[in-house]
């Protein structure tokens, strides 16, 4: 065994799950940001945590709205993930640029991504500062599955693959 930098060890733990964090401003503008640091944190009630950098527009929008949607991208959404991850919603309408079809959910004002593999409508319950990120915890109020293959996993460097069981 050899000692390595934390960055090297972290990069070696890939692939990682990837989600699209969907947020909505009061004026109706919708933003989408990919995030790899996401996990379930409770079964009852169902809850997810997602880590979002302090400087990200998504961080500001989640705080303002008190809600977000976690959309697990389907197999054909790799280019969408790459585009949404390399531009800010402060400067570009990523929904329009990617041609995303947004549909209303049952509970929140934040819409769902129609072509995603899974969508979770989440009400923000907790925001915890952790270094250069905020960990947002959301309670799942409604969930949806699309009839599309997915979800994608992230290998880094805009390399994605469909998550499939071995064997």
Strands, DSSP E only, in the chain? 16-17, 19-24, 30-35, 38-42, 47-53, 67-72, 102-103, 112-113, 118-130, 133-145, 152-156, 159-162
Q: How far apart are the C-alpha atoms of 36 and 98, rounded to whole Å? A: 19
pLDDT band at residue 167 under the 50/70/90 scheme? low
Q: How far apart are the C-alpha atoms of 66 and 116, rounded to whole Å? A: 22
What would the mean pLDDT of 83-103 be, rounded to a whole number?
Answer: 96
Give the pLDDT score at 166.
67
The two structure tokens encoding residue 128? 């915890």
What would the mean pLDDT of 23-44 be, rounded to a whole number?
Answer: 96
pLDDT band at residue 26 under the 50/70/90 scheme? very high
| Cα–Cα separations (whole angstroms), residue 38 to 80, 90, 92, 132 | 18, 23, 24, 16
pLDDT band at residue 156 under the 50/70/90 scheme? confident
Top-confidence residue, 152 or 66:
66
Q: pTM of the prediction?
A: 0.93
Evaluate if residue 91 carries a pLDDT over 70.
yes
Evaluate if residue 164 carries a pLDDT over 80.
no
Locate all alpha helices (DSSP H) within 67-127, ordered by sequence.
78-85, 94-98
The two structure tokens encoding residue 110? 């934040």
Lowest mean pLDDT among 13-17, 35-39, 68-72, 105-109: 13-17
Count of residues making up the chain: 167
């Amino acid at each position: 065994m050899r000692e390595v930098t934390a960055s090297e060890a972290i990069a070696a733990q890939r692939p990682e799950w990837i989600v699209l964090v969907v947020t909505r401003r009061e004026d109706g503008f919708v933003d989408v940001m990919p995030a790899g640091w996401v996990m379930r944190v409770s079964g009852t009630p169902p809850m997810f945590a997602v880590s979002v950098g302090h400087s990200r527009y998504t961080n500001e929008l989640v705080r303002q709205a008190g809600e977000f949607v976690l959309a697990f991208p389907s197999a054909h959404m790799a280019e969408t993930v790459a585009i949404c991850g390399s531009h800010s919603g402060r400067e570009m309408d990523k929904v329009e640029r990617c041609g995303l079809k947004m549909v209303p959910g049952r509970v929140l004002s934040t819409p769902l991504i129609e072509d995603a593999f899974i969508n979770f409508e989440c009400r923000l319950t907790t925001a915890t500062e952790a270094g250069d990120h905020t960990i947002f915890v959301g309670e799942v109020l409604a969930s949806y599955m699309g009839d599309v293959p997915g979800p994608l996993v992230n290998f880094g460097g805009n390399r994605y693959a469909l998550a499939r069981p071995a064997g």
